[in-house]
């Protein structure tokens, strides 16, 4: 009996040592990843919210603010998983303007800038959806401020990743298209959200809610994941 107890004791000690080693290994791995990427703060901005729904889908009436938030959350997941520090300007369906309605839009925008400044953002990615009177118009548009070289480089990096997705995206019905008809463009824009920090900032207009095919994709969870992953991939490539 004594021998069995001793053996059990040794066994328990061994198991404890192995477990401690595994835990240390996991912690060390997480720390190593955090020290390389955790210093980098990514601000993800889901456009609109609250009283401001943004644009609406022509077929389903889906609110741009909802689509933006869903994609922003997925994007946050990818960055967090990779060890980046992520700050979301908007975490739920509400706007950032407080309880007073009057002058809400400007207060909402100022709050977003405040969050970006306080976070010490190394990168700002603002998520939006587009509309166009030309119903056939599809694809992504990535905006940067014309005075920002880093913004331009980030926009081009994200475009490259979105192009790869457009060339063979999986459609909600399970089919895989060889060429989706979605084309992506890098553009300059004079927007408030691009001027909140010196760090690279882009507005990603993910697609056109005025196009039935884009709208269908933007409403599908699978495409939202693919889209968010492509934006993440492009952003990470920017950092090299
Ligand atoms: Zn918008």
Distance (Å) from CA 73 to ligand 1 centroid: 16
Q: What's the rounded mean pLDDT across residues 134-151?
A: 97
Closest CA to 47 of 184, 188, 190, 206: 206
pLDDT tops 80 at residue 147? yes
- The domain segmentation of the chain, as residue ranges, is 1-38, 39-239
* pLDDT in the model for residue 181: 82
**Tokens representing residue 137 in the block:** 């118009």
Tokens representing 226? 């693919």
Decide which of 219 and 22 is more confident: 219
CA of 131 to the centre of ligand 1 (A): 9
Q: Is the pLDDT of residue 25 over 60?
A: no
What lies within 8 Å, CB to CB, of 169 at 6+ separation is 176, 177, 180, 182, 217, 223, 226
> Per-residue pLDDT for 232 more than 50?
yes
DSSP reduced 3-state for 112: helix
CA–centroid distance, 199 to ligand 1, in Å, is 21
Helix or strand run (H / E) with residue 185? strand 185-188
Rounded to the nearest whole angstrom, what is the distance from the C-alpha of residue 139 to the centroid of ligand 1? 15
More confident residue, 18 or 136: 136
Give the neighbor-by-neighbor strand order of the sheet with 41-46.
85-88, 41-46, 123-130, 201-208, 141-144, 185-188
Is 60 exceeded by the pLDDT of residue 18? no
- What pLDDT, on the 0 to 100 scale, is given for residue 101? 86
Classify residue 84 by its DSSP letter.
-
C-alpha pair distances (Å), 32 with each of 18, 21, 42, 156, 178? 21, 16, 18, 29, 39
Ligand 1 centroid–CA 42 distance in Å is 20
This prediction has a pTM of 0.81
Tell me what the mean pLDDT of segment 112-117 comes to. Answer: 98
For the segment 121-147, the average pLDDT, to the nearest whole number, is: 97
Q: Which pLDDT value is given to residue 175?
A: 63
pLDDT of residue 100: 86
pLDDT of residue 16: 46
Element at 87 (helix H, strand E): strand 85-88
Exposure string for 120-139, b = 16+ CB within 10 A, e = fewer: ebbbbbbbbbbbeeeeebbb
| Å from CA of 128 to ligand 1 middle | 4
Ligand 1 centroid to residue 15 C-alpha, Å: 55
Residues 35-67 pLDDT 10s: 456 689 999 999 999 999 999 999 999 999 999
> Cα(33) to centroid of ligand 1, in Å?
34
Give tens-digit pLDDT for 185-206.
Answer: 999 999 999 999 999 999 999 9
Ligand 1 geometric centre to CA of 206 (Å): 10
pLDDT at 210 over 70: yes
Q: Which fold has domain 39-239?
A: Aminopeptidase (3.40.630)
CA of 67 relative to ligand 1 center, distance in Å: 10
CA of 55 to the centre of ligand 1 (A): 7
Residue 123 CA, ligand 1 centroid: distance in Å: 19
């Amino acid at each position: 009996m004594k021998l069995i107890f001793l053996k059990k004791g040794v066994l328990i000690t061994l198991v404890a040592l192995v477990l401690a080693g595994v835990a240390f290994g996991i912690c060390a791995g997480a720390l190593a990843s955090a020290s390389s990427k955790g210093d980098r703060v990514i601000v993800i901005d889901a456009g609109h919210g609250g009283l401001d729904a943004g644009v609406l889908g022509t077929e389903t009436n889906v609110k741009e603010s909802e689509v933006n938030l869903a994609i922003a959350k997925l994007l946050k997941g990818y960055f967090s998983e990779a060890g980046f520090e992520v700050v979301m300007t908007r975490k739920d369906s509400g706007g950032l303007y407080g309880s007073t309605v009057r002058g809400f839009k400007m207060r909402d925008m100022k709050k977003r800038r405040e969050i970006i400044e306080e976070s010490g953002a190394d990168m700002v990615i603002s998520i939006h959806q587009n509309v166009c009177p030309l119903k056939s118009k599809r694809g992504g548009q990535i905006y940067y401020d014309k005075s920002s070289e880093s913004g331009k480089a980030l926009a081009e990096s994200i475009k490259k990743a979105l192009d790869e997705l457009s060339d063979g995206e999986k459609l909600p019905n399970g089919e895989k298209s060889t060429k989706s008809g979605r084309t992506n463009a890098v553009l300059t824009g004079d927007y408030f959200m691009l001027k909140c920090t010196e760090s690279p900032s882009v507005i990603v207009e993910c697609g056109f809610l005025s196009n039935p095919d884009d709208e269908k994709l933007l409403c599908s969870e699978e495409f939202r994941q693919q889209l968010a992953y492509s934006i993440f991939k492009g952003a990470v490539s920017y950092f090299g």
